[in-house]
Chains A and B, each alone.
Chain A
Amino acid sequence: MSTAENSQTFERLVRPHFDRLYRLAWRLTGSKAAAEDLFQELLLKAFGKLDDLVKLDEPGSWLCRVMYNLFIDEQRRFQRRRMHTVEEGQLPGEGLAGLPGPGSPDYDNERLEKIRRLDAALAKLSDEHRIVVLLHDSEGYKISEIQALTGVPGGTVKSRLSRARARLRDILTADGTVS
């Protein structure tokens, strides 16, 4: 195929999955800049695998797995450079920037405060627990879909989900967000 044909084929295969992939990137990374870079990195990787991509029945699932693996690889590179001791509570919570503010008809002070506290509580979870609970409870992924995405056994996914929920419950009960 020519370069133009390759580009057109690639776009036809990947564009239908952009929203899903962007959401996944956000849930994995928790920040806009990192999500955009992960998304970009995925497209670069996928374009290089165009010959494989055209043969797939479900390119969306494949793209999600590649994105997840890119994210994990980056985490491992981070650890290899001995930058350990990642402190809890570091997620920037940029997603909250889009919430309605005072003066907006959608403004609900009490609800927004609870979501801000949820954001802070999520930031205290490990990556493994935060990702599972966000994919399952916020994005509606099934356990089997998380298993396929992460390569982690279903029982482990369930265990992580259970622990993540319990940790959130402890944090949000202690600070009075839920009662």
Chain B
Amino acid sequence: MQNTDMTQQDQEIRDLLKDYPMPEADAGFYDQALARATHEGSRRQRNRWLATGFGAALAAGLALWMIGATFLTSPELPDVDTAIPGITMALEEPRTVNLVFSSATRLDAAMLTVSLPAGVELAGFPGQSEISWETSLKEGKNVLPLTLIALTPAGGELLAHLEHDKRDRTFRLQLNIS
């Protein structure tokens, strides 16, 4: 009887997994991705001397921007990469960047301030170059999606300043506009 029940449960879970949804790519996404790859790839080939630095930025272009936040429980500050992570955005195309804060402990009433370079806006906050809000971080990974829009090709650094209990840390993300 037990085995029969387990089999039925397994089958039902398999059926649910088969139905587990996944959205299709946005219209035009494939074409844009292809164009960026060939454009950027060709540029790299022409400018090999730039490849190392630019490659680091593109590697960081996996927009899961991961931030060490062990600082609030460890006497040591988190490792700071000498290279600033970066992403490449298209002009006037919304781009969602997931800021990932990993905290070793729960943090209540932390103050997060996002500062944007000139010409880049946060969707829903037109004309604001600095947005602050109080937030709580859970122990573990905390994901904050920010949808950015580049209005000019200048680019620059996005700063995320996290402050809690008189301790703070600023993280940087280079925004390159193509």
Contact = CB atoms under 8 A, between A and B. Distances in A.
A32 interface: yes
B61 to A, nearest CB: 6
Interface size classification for chain A: 35 or more
A19 B41 CA distance: 22
User: Secondary structure of the A side of the interface?
Assistant: helix
Given A82-B79, A87-B138, A178-B12, A98 B21 contact: yes
Contacts of B37: 10, 40, 43-44, 46-47
B111 interface: no
Nearest to A30: B22
A27 B17 CA distance: 12
A18 interface: yes
User: Secondary structure of the B side of the interface?
Assistant: mixed
Contacts of B108: none
Interface size classification for chain B: 35 or more
Interface of A: 3, 6-7, 10-11, 14-15, 18-19, 22-23, 26-27, 29, 31-34, 36-41, 43-44, 46-48, 50, 70, 74, 77-78, 80-88, 90, 92, 94-99, 111, 114-115, 118-119, 122, 133-134, 137-138, 165, 168-169, 172-173, 177-179
A165 B12 CA distance: 11
Contacts of B14: 137
